Chain A
Amino acid sequence: MNIFCFIEDSSWVPVFEHFYKLLSGTELSGLTLSKEIAMEVAKYFDKTYLLNSTYSPRIIMDAFKYILSQAKPQIALFPSTNKGRAAAGIYMGLTGLPLYTDVYSVDVEGNKFLVNRLVYGGTASATISVESDFALAVLKGSYKEKPQSRFGEIVPLDIEPDYTVQFKAREVSGNDPSSADIVVVAGRGIKKREDMKLIEELAGLTGGAWSVTRPLAADYRWADQWIGISGLTVSPKVYIAFGVSGQPHHLMGARGAKYIIAVNTDREAPIFEESDLGIVGDLYKVLPRLIDKLKEKV
């Protein structure tokens, strides 16, 4: 099975390695848009195509057209991220191959592949039977596989960079919910912006990060990112939510957590159905006391 990947950044290498093994890959190639990433990951791929340009759909389309004229990958893998999905869709349009996103595992059954993907806002899993050739956009599990060293050839692509697109990188602040062990999340149960201090304080005391539900970010502008289907997907050890109802759109981004703790006044809040520990009560009583308790310990 020769497998082609869209390498958005090096954190996807163990993920692709995991699926490469599941799919009994024999040859692994990838495309990256940055020289740094190419240098970092090349030794794990038989061939790393490099197109040194800011991302744009046009760049992706040009690169895929070239790569497809050179080789016919049997399986293509993409990250289930914004750019990964766009790249996957472009690839599907060019090849006509079936493509499934939000894939978390694949089982092999004879000459068929059973692809397991999330649907319906992450509330259901569908198993789809496919035969080679196909494409998958996979979810980022925490795979620990050490990638195998490979031939490591870098192939620069002679395609003009896209100069029309502008990119402003996200500010790297100390607060990074994507990599933290614990994420403290505020929902609309938090009544005033000042009260976000409590959330930030708990994140600080536990050495974690904080985040919010979409209304707090998109409507109130208390944060510039949120957790959920249209925001971040996190998989910390602990996700602890204060005043979050737990609508499917939000929980989709939190289900990867090992433990879910929720504090909510409403016994019927959907988040309790998916919690390891549910506290039915006023966050304004529980949160300050929790902060005091942790301070006592320090």
Chain B
Amino acid sequence: MKILVPIKLSYDINQMKYDERTGEPILDAVPMIMGDMDRCAIEAALRLKESLGGTVEFLSIGSRDTHNKMMMDAYAMGCDKGYLIEVDNYKELNAYSVAYLISKFAEKYGPYDIIILGNTSQDTHSSIVPPAVSSLLSYSSAFGIDKINVEDGEYVFEATYEDGIYVFKLRPPMVISVTTEANTPRIPTLKDILRAKRMKYDILKPSDLDVELELARVNISSIKRFATPRRGEMIEVDSDEDVEKAVDRIVELLKEAEII
């Protein structure tokens, strides 16, 4: 079985920093990492390989300078082979261009039995690249998967959506996306990390994938900290009297909001 895991280098939103004055993000100061759900996608692929045999390949789009560490992380987890499609200003690519490059790659380097992605990226959390890859390739698909089971060659995927639980039964070839509920990704040992350092990944250009159309980009005209104005009233509670004061203020606010 041949599995492909496309991974994205994302901003670590837990460490977002903004310019106090302009409200603009200071992106140079925000570390970039492999998203949590991408890690779960690699873990899911490795577990399928361990139970059914096969290879796990991974793919990213970006530049050698920024992506090297993430590529090594993917090798350290146990992936067999990595590819990087080099694109200038890769951060500006729109979601369609990303899905298109992945599908072109899968056509040329595949066929893959399963393409597994993280359900959302860490920074833009759109969840649209996996379904777009599935429709570009016309593969069966299921998204936002929390549980994976394999029964007699049939894959059973469980996903929880707003209205309830869906169970999809699919056969390869297929495209799926997983959430952080799907598994707990393994943590590479020091030995794994050292071994990964010796691994090489293939570098290609969009033109190697017969991509002729111009890759569409996102035309961002501004980006600013988003915050609903809040009152920011604070009460410090040390004594029992403070507790009374705090409780009274909560009750007043509940009245103001017409809750009570």
Residues of A within 8 A of B (CB): 9, 54-58, 61, 81-83, 85-94, 96-102, 114, 118-130, 137, 164-170, 181-182, 206-208, 218, 229-230, 232, 237-238, 240, 247-249, 255, 258-261, 263, 267, 272-282, 285-286, 289-290, 293-294, 297
Interface residues of B in 115-151 (CB under 8 A from A): 120, 123-136, 138, 140-144
Contact for B253 among A9, A218, A255, A261, CB less than 8 A: A261
Give complex CA distance A167, B140 in Å. Answer: 18
Contact for A124 among B25, B125, B126, CB less than 8 A: B25
Give complex CA distance A255, B169 in Å. Answer: 36
Structural contact, B259 and A101, CB atoms closer than 8 A? no
Structural contact, B237 and A170, CB atoms closer than 8 A? no
- Closest residue of B by beta carbon distance from A290: B247
Structural contact, B253 and A125, CB atoms closer than 8 A? no
Structural contact, A277 and B128, CB atoms closer than 8 A? no
Structural contact, B179 and A170, CB atoms closer than 8 A? no
Structural contact, A86 and B143, CB atoms closer than 8 A? yes
Residues of B within 8 A of A (CB): 11, 13-14, 16, 18, 25, 94-96, 99-100, 103, 120, 123-136, 138, 140-144, 159, 161-170, 179-181, 216, 218-228, 230-238, 240, 242-244, 246-251, 253-254, 256-260
Q: Do A81 and B242 form a contact, CB below 8 Å, given A124-B25, A277-B235?
A: no
Structural contact, A89 and B250, CB atoms closer than 8 A? no
Q: Do A86 and B123 form a contact, CB below 8 Å, given A124-B223, A169-B164?
A: no
Q: Do A97 and B231 form a contact, CB below 8 Å, given A85-B128, A208-B259, A237-B257?
A: no
Give complex CA distance A244, B256 in Å. Answer: 23
Give complex CA distance A277, B245 in Å. Answer: 12
Residues of A within 8 A of B144 (CB): 82, 86
| 15 additional contacts (CB under 8 A) given A54-B166, A85-B126, A93-B99 | A82-B143, A85-B143, A86-B131, A89-B128, A96-B96, A102-B126, A120-B25, A124-B223, A166-B167, A218-B181, A260-B230, A274-B228, A278-B233, A280-B236, A286-B237
Q: List 10 A-B contacts (CB under 8 A).
A: A91-B135, A92-B131, A98-B94, A123-B227, A127-B220, A127-B222, A276-B231, A285-B240, A286-B237, A297-B251
Q: Do A275 and B232 form a contact, CB below 8 Å, given A83-B161, A93-B131, A168-B165?
A: yes
B3 CB to nearest A CB, Å = 19
Give complex CA distance A207, B243 in Å. Answer: 23
Give complex CA distance A237, B260 in Å. Answer: 12
Contact for A93 among B126, B132, B166, CB less than 8 A: B132
Q: Do A279 and B250 form a contact, CB below 8 Å, given A99-B128, A129-B219?
A: yes
Structural contact, B161 and A275, CB atoms closer than 8 A? no
Secondary structure type dominating chain A contacts: mixed
Structural contact, A281 and B123, CB atoms closer than 8 A? no
A119 CB to nearest B CB, Å = 6
- Closest residue of B by beta carbon distance from A126: B223
Q: Do A237 and B259 form a contact, CB below 8 Å, given A276-B231, A289-B247, A293-B247?
A: yes
B234 CB to nearest A CB, Å = 5
Structural contact, A255 and B244, CB atoms closer than 8 A? no
Residues of B within 8 A of A82 (CB): 127, 143-144, 159, 161-162
